[in-house]
Amino acid sequence: MAKEICDPAISELYKIKELCAEKCVDADIQKALSDAITLAEARDTYCQSISSGPSEALAALQRQTLEYPFDQAYKDGKTKKKLNHRIMSGKFEGTFLQSIVSMSKAKRVLEIGMFTGYSALACAEVLPEDGTVTTLEFDPFLEEVAKGFFAKSPCGKKISIRIGDAKETLLKLAEEKAQYDVVFIDANKDGYVTYFKTVIETNLLAKGGTLVFDNALMNGGAYDMRSTNKIALEVRKCNEYLKSRNDMFRVLVPIRDGTFIVRRKEDVFL
């Protein structure tokens, strides 16, 4: 399986390394370059190895998602879109999310974009017994897959799945007067600004609540101004929009593909 590289600077180093080999550049320079790549990659590996790891249930969920035949499921007409295990958050981000949920003493988590349920289960594991995770997903096929994983964990019972377009489901939840302490936004990137505005304007975010946006760096496309990747441009637009919100307190943490934490200033500066 191809290695996941979220840092475009490392990808550039790999390209230079290939070029050096092609052009038979001095062996010392090639060695120095390889050492630089190893060191740059060691940073994330080290952070992950020192941080807490996943539970058995999460590790199994991740393993089985990595092995899942999504291409076949698409060919068989089971999934609406072609899915790929790369969209799963995974263990490091999962541990980070667990820290946010537990530090904020959250009881109600809303997730926009479930996939096979890694982040939903990660959040459920750190909630109290009466805590809940409501997770929104577009593709009905994923409900079956995720339910299978949730059934294998005692925390799975805290999770409820709402299938449909998240824009509509959010409005339904607002009508139901639902409120959440942590909202994790991880679905289609062109919907991020709308999701943010809906959550804030319809009062879905409880007082003192926290919003977490995933993929806020989008493989570096958010800050690499040469990038013309459509999805990266959407993420950049959302980041800029959030930056323009003077009522919001923000920190973009360069974990994995970038995790953007946003809170109302009135909840931070009491």
Binding site for ligand SAM (CB under 6 A): 87-89, 113-115, 118-119, 136-139, 142, 165-166, 186-188, 191
Q: Is 209 helix (H, G, I), strand (E, B) or coil?
A: strand
Q: Write the secondary structure of 106-147 as one string of H (helix), E (strand) and C (coil).
A: CCEEEEECCCCCHHHHHHHHCCCCCCEEEEEECCHHHHHHHH
Which CB sits closer to ligand SAM, 119 or 227? Answer: 119
For the bound state, the minimum distance from the C-beta of residue 89 to ligand SAM, rounded and expressed in Å, comes to 3
* CB nearer ligand SAM, residue 98 or residue 119: 119
85, HSE (Cβ side, Cα atoms, 13 Å): 16
Closest to ligand SAM by CB, 192 vs 263, is 192
Taking Cα atoms as reference points, which of 139, 182, 190 lies closest to residue 161? 139
Minimal distance in Å, beta carbon 119 to ligand SAM? 3
CA nearest to 184, candidates 218, 219, 239, 136: 136
Cβ distance to ligand SAM smaller for residue 13 or 198: 198
Burial (CB count within 10 angstroms: exposed 0-12, middle 13-18, buried 19+), residue 19 = exposed
CB of 97 to ligand SAM, least distance (A): 8
Q: Write down the least CB distance from residue 165 to ligand SAM, Å.
A: 5
Residues comprising the chain, all counted: 270
Minimum Å distance from CB 152 to ligand SAM?
16
From the list 176, 145, 174, the residue with the least C-alpha distance to 161 is 145
CB 86 within 8 A of CB 211: no
Which residue's CB is nearer to ligand SAM, number 181 or number 186?
186
CB of 15 to ligand SAM, least distance (A): 27
Query: Of 5, 41, 22, 6, which Cα lies nearest the Cα of 30?
Result: 22
Joined together, the tokens standing for residue 104 give: 């904020």
Residue placing its CB nearer to ligand SAM in the complex, 92 or 220: 92
| Minimum gap (Å) between residue 226 Cβ and ligand SAM | 24
- Residue closer to ligand SAM (CB basis): 190 or 224: 190
**3 state DSSP class of 162:** strand
